């Protein structure tokens, strides 16, 4: 009996060991990747003049919070005590820590724009702890990419991959300097591709669950072949720390930016001159679509490429040059990747019918212009069904707002309009997919609105247009 128990215990131990070996064999081994790639990953520090109030209470210097993404600013504001505002207004030097990586043997380095923004001096520290002063070749805030140059020959470089080849679920590795801890390696998987973030219209981010913290910004994201597939850029956090949502700039996007910065000092992007919004279930029903998809054109800028190409307010863009627009955020990614003078063929739905429009892409302006609506006194025409009083636009208002027609909201009572958030000063240009030229037209269309069906209304506020939907239950 004793021999049997010993045999069984030995067998169980062998089986457990075998299972552990199998499980271990299924997990990636990053040791070779880290060893080979680390020499080309650098630590980046900057020095700049900041007010004394940005100094920590213990004298520790912290990054310029205005140069960091909101998530990182929140982290530092919560975790580092600050002194009261310095009444004397004296200035002290502050340091910012980030990461980067070498892409050419003669010293070109990629990092994030927010790591080096407004820096008076940029220092790149190599893996052997030697330090080199870097020159900023160019930066692109729209993609958060910056290109640096240090003096050197035969520097270690990283192999670049293709971010388009990444698959969701694939293992990836990050190397960087979180909180100044040089060459820290963290691993995870690709959680999603083509993510859009607020105010980041031109980057289809790679989402991962790789642990990224302040200091990782600008560092490389690798695939299992040791190729750089992205630049770690942002995190989503409610606490200030890592919460499993990290975002990297695809290396394809970053290298296109770097090439333009190196050759021209700035980045040129395609531009159509439209304001778009997401198509939800109610809007899809309102515009006769089978399912929510595409980008709804809420505004067409005068004399822009879209206006010249025949695109109209209310069109739903389903594809660009054969590439489908599933979410509205897909459109800026695709248009931004084009160059001024390129041809764009749009597949759109207009009044329930499919149309193909061809136009020439323009160049994205350096500064976004914003129109401001001005309200004017006048007699209101009220619609009892919507609970909104409107007046006709003056010629001056139409010129200022760059609209051909529409009515100005003078008052809002209890009713559907109030529930939708319509407020005095708004301009209504379309109701139920019909253009509004006078207050009488508005009242006539409002009176004939169908019930128990999604109806759209185009509202212009502060120079920005959007479609909203509602249903009349009566």
Could you give the 3-state DSSP secondary structure of residue 131?
Answer: strand
User: Are both 237 and 139 inside the same structural domain?
Assistant: no
Tell me the per-residue pLDDT of 265-280, one tens digit each, with 9 for 90 and over.
889 999 999 888 889 8
CATH number at residue 136: 2.40.10.10
User: Are both 182 and 275 inside the same structural domain?
Assistant: no
User: Are both 341 and 281 inside the same structural domain?
Assistant: yes
Could you give the 3-state DSSP secondary structure of residue 462?
Answer: coil
How many domains does the chain divide into? 4
**Buried b vs exposed e over 89-114: b needs ≥16 C-beta within 10 Å?**
eeeeebbbbbbbbbbeeebbbbbbbb
User: Are both 105 and 197 inside the same structural domain?
Assistant: no
Whole-number Å distance between alpha carbons of 286 and 280: 10
Let me know the angle formed at the C-alpha of 441 by 439 and 447, rounded to the nearest 5 degrees: 105
pTM of the full predicted structure?
Answer: 0.67
Residue 347: pLDDT over 90: yes
In a domain, 459, yes or no: yes
List Cβ<8 Å contacts ≥24 apart for 263-267. Answer: 265/137, 265/138, 266/138, 266/140, 267/140, 267/142, 267/143
In a domain, 283, yes or no: yes
In a domain, 105, yes or no: yes
User: Are both 102 and 173 inside the same structural domain?
Assistant: no
Q: Give the whole-number percent of the chain exceeding pLDDT 70.
A: 79
User: Are both 39 and 145 inside the same structural domain?
Assistant: yes
Show which residues are catalytic. Answer: 114, 144, 217
Residue 131: pLDDT over 90: yes
User: Are both 387 and 355 inside the same structural domain?
Assistant: no
Domain holding 401, by residue range, is 381-470
> pLDDT-based confidence at 461, cuts 50/70/90?
confident
Residue 195: pLDDT over 60: yes
User: Are both 228 and 317 inside the same structural domain?
Assistant: no
Tell me the per-residue pLDDT of 50-59, one tens digit each, with 9 for 90 and over.
655 444 444 4
Whole-number Å distance between alpha carbons of 296 and 65: 36
In a domain, 420, yes or no: yes
pLDDT, mean of residues 174-201: 89
Domain boundary (306, 337, 363) is at 363
CATH number at residue 450: 2.30.42.10
User: Are both 49 and 114 inside the same structural domain?
Assistant: yes
Number of H helices and E strands in the chain, helices first, is: 11, 28
Whole-number Å distance between alpha carbons of 429 and 434: 8
Q: What is the pLDDT of residue 6?
A: 63
Domain boundary (329, 363, 397) is at 363
In a domain, 52, yes or no: yes
> pLDDT-based confidence at 286, cuts 50/70/90?
confident
In a domain, 259, yes or no: yes
Q: Calculate the alpha carbon distances from 75 to 4, 99, 197, 210, 441 in Å.
A: 60, 18, 19, 18, 53
User: Are both 260 and 279 inside the same structural domain?
Assistant: no
User: Are both 260 and 276 inside the same structural domain?
Assistant: no
In a domain, 432, yes or no: yes
Nearest partner of 63 among 45, 79, 78, 38, judged by Cα: 45
In a domain, 375, yes or no: no
User: Are both 145 and 181 inside the same structural domain?
Assistant: no
Residue 355 bridge partners (DSSP): 348
Tell me the per-residue pLDDT of 383-401, one tens digit each, with 9 for 90 and over.
557 878 888 887 777 777 7
Whole-number Å distance between alpha carbons of 372 and 460: 10
Domain boundary (264, 293, 315) is at 264
Whole-number Å distance between alpha carbons of 219 and 101: 6
pLDDT, mean of residues 6-29: 66
Cβ neighbours of residue 135 closer than 8 Å, sequence gap 6 or more: 122, 148, 149, 150
């Amino acid at each position: 009996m004793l021999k049997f128990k010993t045999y069984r215990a030995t067998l169980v131990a062998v089986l457990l060991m075998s299972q552990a070996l199998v499980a271990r064999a299924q997990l990636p081994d990053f040791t070779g990747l880290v060893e080979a790639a680390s020499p080309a990953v650098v630590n980046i520090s900057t020095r700049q003049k900041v007010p004394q109030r940005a100094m920590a209470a213990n004298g520790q210097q912290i990054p310029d919070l205005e140069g960091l993404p909101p998530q990182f600013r929140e982290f530092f504001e919560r975790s580092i005590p600050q002194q009261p505002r310095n009444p004397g207004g004296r200035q002290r030097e502050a340091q910012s820590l980030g990461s980067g990586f070498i892409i050419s043997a003669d010293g070109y380095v990629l990092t994030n724009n927010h790591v080096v923004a407004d820096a008076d001096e940029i220092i790149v520290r190599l893996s052997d702890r030697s330090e080199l002063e870097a020159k900023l070749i160019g930066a692109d805030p729209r993609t958060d990419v910056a290109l640096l140059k240090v003096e050197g020959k035969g520097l270690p470089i990283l192999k670049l991959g293709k971010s388009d080849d990444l698959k969701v679920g694939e293992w990836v590795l990050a190397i960087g300097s979180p909180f100044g801890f040089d060459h820290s390696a963290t691993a995870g998987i690709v959680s999603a591709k083509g993510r859009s973030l607020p105010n980041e219209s031109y980057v289809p981010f790679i989402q991962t669950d790789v642990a990224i913290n302040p200091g990782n910004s600008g560092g490389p994201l690798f695939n299992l072949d040791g190729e750089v597939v992205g630049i770690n850029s942002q995190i989503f956090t409610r606490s200030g720390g890592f919460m499993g949502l990290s975002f990297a700039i695809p290396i394809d996007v970053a290298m296109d930016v770097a090439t333009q910065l190196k050759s021209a000092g700035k980045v040129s992007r395609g531009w159509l001159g439209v304001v778009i919004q997401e198509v939800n279930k109610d809007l899809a029903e309102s515009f006769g679509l089978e399912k929510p998809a595409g980008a709804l054109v809420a505004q067409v800028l005068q004399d822009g490429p879209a206006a010249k190409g025949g695109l109209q307010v209310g069109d739903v863009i389903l594809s660009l040059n054969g590439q489908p627009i599933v979410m509205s955020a897909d459109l800026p990614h695709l248009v931004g990747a084009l160059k001024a003078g390129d041809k764009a063929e749009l597949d759109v739905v207009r009044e329930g019918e499919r149309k193909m429009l061809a136009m020439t892409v323009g160049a994205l302006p350096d500064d976004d212009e914003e129109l401001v609506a001005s309200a004017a006194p006048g007699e209101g025409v009220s619609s009892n069904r919507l609970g909104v009083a409107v007046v006709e636009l003056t010629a001056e208002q139409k010129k200022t707002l760059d609209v051909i027609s529409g009515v100005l909201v003078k008052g809002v009572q209890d009713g559907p309009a109030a529930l939708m958030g319509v407020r005095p000063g708004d301009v209504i240009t379309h109701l139920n997919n019909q253009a509004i030229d006078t207050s009488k037209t508005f009242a006539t269309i409002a009176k004939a609105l169908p019930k128990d069906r999604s109806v759209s209304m185009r509202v212009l506020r502060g120079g920005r247009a959007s479609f909203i939907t509602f249903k009349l239950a009566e």
